[in-house]
Amino acid sequence: MISLDLTNGLPEEELFEEANKLEVFLELIHKREQGFYKVIDDNETVEKINKFAKSAEGKFDNIVVCGIGGSALGTICLKQSLTHLFKSQSPSLHVLDNIDPVLIKELEDVIDYSKTLFIVITKSGETIETTSQYDYFSKKLKEKNLDLKSHLVVITSQQENPIREEAKKENLTIFDIPQNVGGRFSVLTAVGLLPAKLIGINIEKLLEGAKTMRDSFLSTKAEDNFPFQLAATQFLLSQKGKTINVIMPYSQKLIKFADWTAQLIAESTGKDGKGITPIKALGVTDQHSQLQLYADGPNDKLIIFIEVKDPHKTTFGQLMQIEKTATAESLIKKSRPNITILVNSVTEESLGQLFLLFEGATAFLGEFFQINAFDQPGVELSKKLTKEALLK
């Protein structure tokens, strides 16, 4: 189990003054009927993923995920965190989380369409960037006389939508995203689990870790509820002017986890003139680039360190731990609050725990801020205006 060290954040008595809100907030979250903490029991989807992965063994050199935002960031995080940082792997995983034409062209420079599986992910079925990628790659596959159903998979909402209708027409394999799970909370659905399984990640262990943290999230005892403790710290410090959270893992493996948390926090809390602004940083790298601002700039930040113990007790690991401790101490001397999430090692289990820790904390933040953490009206307006411009 991962643990929290909140010593350098808020006085303990101030933090636990909020404990009387815990049961009320849990009840409110239940009433929102969000499924992010329930999908980890979806054994049927896990079985379907395992069956598909077995049938795909040895057929593909490349897996290409077409998705953006919550349809991409979790998968990028899973690859960075749970596969070798330098070894090439087979199949290779590529995530197209943009429509930059250079990105598309240079992907095509390195893939053989006949040995590539495309996974198209859009919950709404109408995400214009992703549907454009689907149109492009399905056309390319047809031009090369390749069977679409052998090279294309769709992950989308259970409700009828344009991409689902197209997938049915082409007889493609479809994996469902539960309707009550938003994109940024969907990493533990087929959205993240299918690509993870295809590159050899143990998704059962990932889900077991998530279940461990879910037990904490559902606890009505504040001392046992880590997501509540994290959210209370974030919220109370935001009320003291610390409206920026710097997510700073001391682990190269977890830098993309900081990317994932950035969307989760920003898109969930940024409403009605309220919210927390997330920034990603990497220890020790950003001690030499961003730390000056955090130490001597505006005192408007909470630094959230993620510290990973070095099981091999190497010299570099010891040095990294010393530098993290010194950085935290230096910030406290400057009256800059910081907290630490302690992780024994980066494994499927610990990453599953981290996902649920931040998802649960974000759900609690919605109740603290008295907003709906699960919608994104600002994003929807941008999408609407984009579609209107395309129709002109």
Residues belonging to the active site: 267, 288, 383
- Four-residue CA torsion sign, 24, 15, 233, 310: negative
Helix (H) or strand (E) holding 348: helix 348-369
Query: How do 244-250 and 277-280 pair as beta strands?
Result: parallel
Sheet with 244-250, strands from edge to edge, namely 3-5, 338-343, 301-308, 244-250, 277-280
Determine the Cα angle at 266 with ends 250 and 67, to 5°.
85
Determine the Cα angle at 66 with ends 112 and 351, to 5°.
110
**Residue 91 corresponds to which tokens in the numbers above?**
């199949």
For residue 86, give the DSSP letter: S
Q: How far is CA 6 from CA 148, 223, 224, 275, 302, in A?
A: 52, 12, 13, 21, 11
Contact 259, 280 (CB under 8 A): yes
- Contacts with 90 (C-beta within 8 Å, 6 or more apart), sequence order: 61
- Contacts with 366 (C-beta within 8 Å, 6 or more apart), sequence order: 29, 268, 269, 372, 373, 374
